[in-house]
Amino acid sequence: MSYAIEAKEVSVQYKDFTAIDQVSFQLKAGKIHGLLGRNGAGKTTLLSVLSAFRKADNGTLTIDGENPFENPRIMQDTIFIFDQQKDLEYTYDKVGEMLKEMAYFRPNFDEAYALQLVKKFKLPLNKKVNQLSKGKKSAFQAIIGLASRAPLTIFDEAYLGMDAPTREIFYKEILNDQEEHPRTIIFSTHLVSEADYLFDEVLMIHNGKVLLQGTNEQVISEGFSLTGSLEQVDAFTEGLEVLNSQVLGGTKSVMVYGGLSEQQRIAADQAGLEIGNLSLHDLFVHLTKGEEE
Amino acid sequence: MNPIILSSKKIAGLLFKEQVKWTIWFLSFMFVIYIVVVSFASGPHSSFIDLANFSNGSSAIYMLVIGILTTSTFFYYYMQQGAARKNFFFGAALTSVLLAVVITIMLILLTFILEFAAGWTGWNIHGQEFDFTSSISEFIYIFVSFIIMHLIYFLIGWMIGLTFYRLGWLYGLLSIACSILLLAITGILIEVTHFSFFTNMIHLPAFIAFPLNIVLIILLFGVNYRLIKDVTVKI
């Protein structure tokens, strides 16, 4: 079971600061969606609205066709995993006990799978949660998020404190379990380069607005790289939106935002320019660059 | 479609179980402290056994504290588990009534046990400040008064906790000021409460005080519902 999401003109205001500014998007059911944005872009605020932790000030939001706010069915079927390091400092129950408790609240919780994950993440079942290291606390939360198999599962930078091998296990488990038990997963991150292979679709937000949305391939095809002699690259990119450029001797390499027509592609080939793909990371970094850079 | 796990009834059950556990701890500590004090003190101190003196001040404050924690501890937890605010509110409301009844019963039982133990061991302690053993009607009057007092203290605590949570420290402080006023009113309405400014000046007969208590309770439930029904869960 998985839920589709539709947001129309959703806004959230904090006094005189607009955290989410009339965003509209659709998230398909049963996919892994990467929510990308820099610190303060509005990711967590948006996720709070999706998980019914907060009411949107304007706009309409539907999850599985219904408004999620104060909707017991949608709220029960949504799990929101966010940084709870501070809260877990005061959790004196043992890991095993806590996981058992979760099984009580979440209808699809798979306790056997949770125990498998405990082994994979090397969590001590008999240790109190507050005594776990930062990375292990995050792993504990990741286990709850995965094993709950909620139709809408939200991970908001859930990897904080995990070391690289643990993050790798986490990402692989998301992919494996999603394949066997499809659900809608929203994975918010700014560690784009290491997690981009997870995403079926990408929603990039910046300053509270949607910057890009589409399948991973569609989003990546929004930009390309061009390498060649300095003069030819300059001539070719005139009028194009150049995100970044590097010059090494007489060679210039640029990142360009925008699609490339077939004619342009042929012209580039004839000019001896090398066309390459941009990574999601490149696009994210350069599209969300602020004035400070 | 899965049935709703965290219904009001279920939340009430879970909250009640947890809060009764806390209450037993609290009363156990009270009991031990009492025994220690009575063992070492004699004379006027031993009148501490009195139902009101032994329990009333601290149990009311205990209810106030549980009320304050209701939002930051219990509400926050159940929202993370996928509960709806409305279900939590009605669950917590039901629990507050049940807890007010249970803590009163426990206190009265403890007092009886202490009285019995005092008689048996020959401790020189006098009877209650409040007469609840002479007749059934007196007992009911005191019993209901205590329940109402405990409930009002809980609801006031809940209101303070919610105001801080929802509106920040400034309104939170205002809610404390407002609570002091409400406690003063409670002091007038309920004879057994310790916290009162005007008891000596104003004495309301029960047939006026009880309906006013009910109005105050309904008002507090209403305010708390307004505060919780669309509150943002802070993360």
B5: contact with A, CB 8 A cutoff: yes
Tell me what the mean pLDDT of segment B219-234 comes to: 96
Tell me what the mean pLDDT of segment B167-180 comes to: 95
Distances (CA, A) of A277 to A28, A224, A258, B42, B53: 25, 5, 12, 88, 79
Cβ atoms of A222 and A258 within 8 Å: the answer is yes
CATH architecture type of domain A221-287 = 2-Layer Sandwich (3.30)
* Residue B53 to chain A, least CA–CA distance (Å): 34
Cβ atoms of A135 and A159 within 8 Å: the answer is no
CB distance A76–B5 less than 8 Å? yes
**Least confident window among A74-78, A189-193, B50-54, B164-168:** B50-54
**Distance (Å, whole) CA A156 – CA A188:** 5
Question: What is the pLDDT, as a whole number, of residue A270?
Answer: 87
Question: What is the pLDDT, as a whole number, of residue A81?
Answer: 96
CATH number of A5-219: 3.40.50.300
All residues of chain B having their beta carbon less than 8 Å from the beta carbon of residue A73 are 1-2, 4
Query: In terms of DSSP bridges, do strands A32-36 and A184-189 run parallel, antiparallel, or are they unpaired?
Result: parallel
CB distance B235–A77 less than 8 Å? no
Nearest residue on chain A to B86, alpha-carbon basis:
A70
**Distance (Å, whole) CA A49 – CA A38:** 18
Question: What is the pLDDT, as a whole number, of residue B59?
Answer: 87
For chain A, the distance separating the N- and C-terminal CA atoms, rounded to the nearest angstrom, is: 44
At CA B50, angle to CA B209 and CA B200, rounded to 5?
A: 40
Q: Which of A55, A82, A105 sits opposite B82 (nearest CB)?
A: A105
* Residue B82 to chain A, least CA–CA distance (Å): 4
Question: What is the pLDDT, as a whole number, of residue B3?
Answer: 87
**From the candidates B2, B17, B74, B234, which should be mutated to test the interface with A, based on the most A CB atoms within 10 A?**
B2
Q: What is the DSSP letter of B81?
A: T
The structure tokens listed for A15 are 């006094």
Q: How far is CA A213 from the centre of its chain?
A: 12
Question: What is the pLDDT, as a whole number, of residue B55?
Answer: 58
Question: What is the pLDDT, as a whole number, of residue B193?
Answer: 66
Q: List alpha helices for B74-202, DSSP H.
A: 76-80, 85-121, 136-167, 169-189
Cβ atoms of B186 and B149 within 8 Å: the answer is yes
**Distance (Å, whole) CA A77 – CA A271:** 55
Question: What is the pLDDT, as a whole number, of residue B56?
Answer: 56
Query: Which residues of chain A are modeled with pLDDT < 50?
Result: 293
All residues of chain A having their beta carbon less than 8 Å from the beta carbon of residue B87 are 72
**Distance (Å, whole) CA B83 – CA B87:** 7
**Distance (Å, whole) CA B131 – CA A102:** 48
> What was the ipTM of the complex prediction?
0.90
Where does the pLDDT of residue B133 fall: very low under 50, low under 70, confident under 90, or very high at 90 and above? low
**Distance (Å, whole) CA B125 – CA B118:** 7
Cβ atoms of B73 and B37 within 8 Å: the answer is no
All residues of chain B having their beta carbon less than 8 Å from the beta carbon of residue A80 are 80
Question: What is the pLDDT, as a whole number, of residue B201?
Answer: 60
**Distance (Å, whole) CA B160 – CA B204:** 27
Which has the higher per-residue pLDDT, B76 or B133? B76
All residues of chain A having their beta carbon less than 8 Å from the beta carbon of residue B86 are 70
**Distance (Å, whole) CA A253 – CA B68:** 61
Question: What is the pLDDT, as a whole number, of residue A58?
Answer: 96
The DSSP result for chain A, as a single string, is ----EEEEEEEEEETTEEEEEEEEEEE-TT-EEEEE--TTSSHHHHHHHHTTSS--SEEEEEETTB--TT-HHHHHTEEEE---HHHHTT--SBHHHHHHHHHHH-TT--HHHHHHHHHHTT--TTSBGGGS-HHHHHHHHHHHHHHT--SEEEEESTTTT--HHHHHHHHHHHHHHHHHS--EEEEEES-HHHHGGG-SEEEEEETTEEEEEEEHHHHHTTEEEEEEEHHHHHHHTTTSEEEEEEEETTEEEEEEES---HHHHHHHHHTTPEEEEPPHHHHHHHHT--TT-
**Distance (Å, whole) CA B191 – CA B194:** 8
CB distance B5–A105 less than 8 Å? yes
Question: What is the pLDDT, as a whole number, of residue B51?
Answer: 54
C-beta atoms surrounding A171 within 10 Å: 16
Nearest residue on chain B to A12, alpha-carbon basis:
B232
| Percent of chain B whose pLDDT exceeds 70 | 81
Cβ neighbours for A224, distance < 8 A, ≥ 6 positions apart: A255, A256, A260, A275, A276, A277, A278
Mean pLDDT of chain B: 84
Cβ atoms of B130 and B115 within 8 Å: the answer is no
CB distance A75–B83 less than 8 Å? yes
B232: contact with A, CB 8 A cutoff: yes
**Distance (Å, whole) CA A179 – CA A273:** 40
Segments making up each domain of chain A, as ranges:
5-219, 221-287
Is the pLDDT confidence value at B200 over 60?
no
pLDDT tens-place string over residues B76-103? 999 999 999 999 999 999 999 999 999 9
Residues of chain A contacting B, Cβ within 8 Å: 44, 48, 52-55, 69-73, 75-80, 82-83, 87, 102, 104-108, 150
Question: What is the pLDDT, as a whole number, of residue A238?
Answer: 86
Note which residues in 48-77 of chain B have CB less than 8 A from chain A.
76
Q: Which of A73, A80, A150 sits opposite B1 (nearest CB)?
A: A73
B170: contact with A, CB 8 A cutoff: no
The DSSP result for B23-60, as a single string, is HHHHHHHHHHHHHHHHHH--GGGGGGGSHIIIIIHHHH
Question: What is the pLDDT, as a whole number, of residue A240?
Answer: 87
* Residue A88 to chain B, least CA–CA distance (Å): 11
